Amino acid sequence: MAVREQTGTSRLQRKLDQHGFTRRDFLKYCGCLAGMMGLSSLAAPQIAEALEIGAEEGGLKPVIWLEGGSCTGCTEALTQGTTPDIPQLVLETIALNYSETLSAAAGHSLEQARRETIEAGGYLVVYEGAVPTAYDGNILLVAGEKGTDILLETAKGAEAVIALGSCACDGGWMAARPDDAQAMGVQRFLSEQGVDVPVVNIPCCPANPEWLTAVIVEYVLNGTLPELNDRNEPAALFNQTVHDNCPRRGHFENGEFVYEFGSEEEAKGYCLYPLGCKGPQTYAPCPITRWNRSLSWCVEAGAPCAGCAVINPMNPQGNWVDENTPFLDRHKDFAVGPISFQPTTVAAGLTVLVVAVLGVHCAGMKLAGRMDGGADFEAERRWDARHDKPAAHEAAARAQQLYDDLDELGLELKNTGAHRKRDAAGRKKATAVEVAAKAQGRAASDNAGASAAPAEDAAADLADLLVRPTDEPEGGDK
């Protein structure tokens, strides 16, 4: 009871009052927090109470907010320009001990605050921006100290490091080609340096302050970090795609698309998929939490998702910029040196090339006379001919004899089903009777032991048995 009276006029409550937030707003926010933490919204009052007690006692958990190679956009998102919202007030009140951008103090006194917090231990680090490592880390100096050293020093004693924004997760913009700063994310940097501290990645450009507050509050209240997925992101937040929860999804399923900005379809709020929306492969809860006091977000405001939540923490080259540009194309560009191209260009180009080669090949087949049944068979496989196998030679001799016989009969074996017979070349049409007679002749000669005899002998036998068909038209007709 005493506690409740106390919370009624807590410091946090007074601060909220000053900014025009009612207690109802605050409790609603605590309900949202509960949702993000995977708790029932019934936990909202308990969260509110815990936050207020923490605020009264002067910070539940000290937070050191470091700036790396950043544009300060994530801090900017937190402060929402001129109108701070509840997450910021909560965060400021409960914890923020050091922030280069937000702290009233500056210079030595601020650095002093950081050192004291590190010495006291039991703090969290929020790291904003990439870790630029070029020139042995000298590319980023803060207060005369290398940015990489500050991160190492601060992270070593921390209970956890929250990498805030895609740059902190894997280098982001900073690591995009050509990556002169040799930037990388916090997780990769710390693991390379052998610092064993849990890293929570909260991607997006900038990161949504509500996600940050949710993670910090969960840690403060439960003493545990949220369950992480394989990219070290809070699983409850980052395991579904933007596409899964998109308000334009119905238009996608209906096949109603915007193909051009400024079109009638755009006015109707159709799906932005053909304009290169990266929502289907971007894991982020943007459509749920939304932005700027849950007012709106990119796709709702009419811009295709640029996929800024795509991170590859251990591979800075997989940063969301290189993975998703050009933003208005369906696929990312591939780059070979200075040349970049779309996968479709390569694939379709290769296919056209193959078809062209086949066209040329087809002309070659026509010229070579192979289109109608293919070229003549070799009498014997080359391998067999070369390796001198008697059985193969024998079979080859028989096959050759067969071809000669068929040729003589004018049977041209073409692949047209009709099996035309040559007579234009002065060869006589083969009749069934003749063929049968010849076949019998072959069988007879085989039975006589010709199978072992050389092919020439068999041919000689046949010559005796048959009148050469080519002679007949000349003699017979005249």
Partner 1 sequence: MAHLAHYREAHPLPMVITHWVNLIAMIVLILSGLEIHYPLVPGVMGIARGLHMFFAFVLVVNCVVRIVLAFVAKSAPAGGTRRLVRDYKTWLPQRDNKHQLWAWISYYLFLRREHPIAAKLGVPQKIVYLLIAPLIFFTAYTGFCLWGPTMGWPIFTWGTQLVGGAMNMRVIHYFCMWVFIIFMCIHVYLSLVEGASPATLIFFWKETPGLVYDPDTMNITGFDGMGKEPDYGETFKDPVRAAADAAAVAEREAAREGAE
428 contacts partner 1 (rule: CB under 8 A): no
166 contacts partner 1 (rule: CB under 8 A): no
409 contacts partner 1 (rule: CB under 8 A): yes
390 contacts partner 1 (rule: CB under 8 A): no
**Burial tier of 75 (Cβ tally within 10 Å: 0-12, 13-18, 19+):** buried
Return the number of the residue (111 or 323) whose C-beta is nearest partner 1.
323
Return the number of the residue (78 or 204) whose C-beta is nearest partner 1.
204
To partner 1, the closest distance from the beta carbon of 201 in angstroms equals 13
CA neighbor of 304 nearest in space, from 334, 281, 288? 281
422 contacts partner 1 (rule: CB under 8 A): no
Return the number of the residue (14 or 419) whose C-beta is nearest partner 1.
419
**Burial tier of 42 (Cβ tally within 10 Å: 0-12, 13-18, 19+):** exposed
Return the number of the residue (343 or 426) whose C-beta is nearest partner 1.
343
CA neighbor of 55 nearest in space, from 100, 92, 102? 92
Size of the site for partner 1 (CB under 8 A): 84
Return the number of the residue (97 or 401) whose C-beta is nearest partner 1.
401
To partner 1, the closest distance from the beta carbon of 276 in angstroms equals 10
228 contacts partner 1 (rule: CB under 8 A): no
Decide: 68 and 127 in contact? Cβ < 8 Å. yes
- The residue within the footprint of partner 1, chosen from 15, 156, 398, 422 (CB under 8 A), is 398
Separation between Cα atoms, residue 356 and residue 375, nearest integer Å: 23
167-226 residues in contact with partner 1 (CB under 8 A) are: none
Return the number of the residue (55 or 310) whose C-beta is nearest partner 1.
310
Can you name the residues that pair with 186 across neighbouring β-strands?
none
**Burial tier of 16 (Cβ tally within 10 Å: 0-12, 13-18, 19+):** buried
Return the number of the residue (135 or 377) whose C-beta is nearest partner 1.
377
Q: Which stretch binds partner 1 (CB under 8 A): 75-83, 120-128, 430-438, 457-465?
A: 430-438
3-state secondary structure of 63: strand
Contacts of 113-119 with C-beta under 8 Å, sequence gap 24+, read 114/64, 114/154, 117/62, 117/64, 118/64, 118/153, 118/154, 118/157
273 contacts partner 1 (rule: CB under 8 A): yes
Decide: 219 and 160 in contact? Cβ < 8 Å. yes
To partner 1, the closest distance from the beta carbon of 54 in angstroms equals 35
Return the number of the residue (141 or 463) whose C-beta is nearest partner 1.
463
To partner 1, the closest distance from the beta carbon of 324 in angstroms equals 7
To partner 1, the closest distance from the beta carbon of 330 in angstroms equals 6
382 contacts partner 1 (rule: CB under 8 A): yes
- The residue within the footprint of partner 1, chosen from 394, 453, 466, 473 (CB under 8 A), is 394
Q: Could you write out the DSSP letters of every residue in 159-226? A: SEEEEESHHHHH-HHHHSTT-TT-EE-HHHHHHHTT----EEEE-SSSPPHHHHHHHHHHHHHHSSPP
Return the number of the residue (290 or 393) whose C-beta is nearest partner 1.
393
Decide: 73 and 206 in contact? Cβ < 8 Å. yes
381 contacts partner 1 (rule: CB under 8 A): yes
Return the number of the residue (77 or 167) whose C-beta is nearest partner 1.
167
339-378 residues in contact with partner 1 (CB under 8 A) are: 343-344, 347-348, 350-351, 354-355, 358, 361-362, 364-365, 368, 370-378
Total residues belonging to the chain: 478
CA neighbor of 172 nearest in space, from 285, 276, 269, 309? 309
461 contacts partner 1 (rule: CB under 8 A): no
Return the number of the residue (20 or 383) whose C-beta is nearest partner 1.
383
Locate 288 and state its tokens: 């749920």
438 contacts partner 1 (rule: CB under 8 A): yes
Q: How many CA atoms are closer than 13 Å to the CA of 163, on its beta-carbon side?
A: 36
Locate 184 and state its tokens: 């990388």
- The residue within the footprint of partner 1, chosen from 61, 188, 427, 442 (CB under 8 A), is 442
Instruction: Using the structure block, give the residue that is written with the tokens 């693991």.
Output: 191
- The residue within the footprint of partner 1, chosen from 119, 136, 196, 230 (CB under 8 A), is 230
Q: Which stretch binds partner 1 (CB under 8 A): 140-148, 187-195, 235-243, 298-306?
A: 235-243
- The residue within the footprint of partner 1, chosen from 281, 292, 294, 340 (CB under 8 A), is 281
CA neighbor of 331 nearest in space, from 317, 316, 318, 341? 341
254 contacts partner 1 (rule: CB under 8 A): yes
233 contacts partner 1 (rule: CB under 8 A): no
Q: Which stretch binds partner 1 (CB under 8 A): 154-162, 209-217, 275-283, 296-304?
A: 275-283
Give CA separation, 133 vs 16, 55, 138, in Å. 41, 37, 7
282-341 residues in contact with partner 1 (CB under 8 A) are: 282, 307, 310, 312, 315, 318, 323-324, 330-332
Decide: 174 and 69 in contact? Cβ < 8 Å. yes
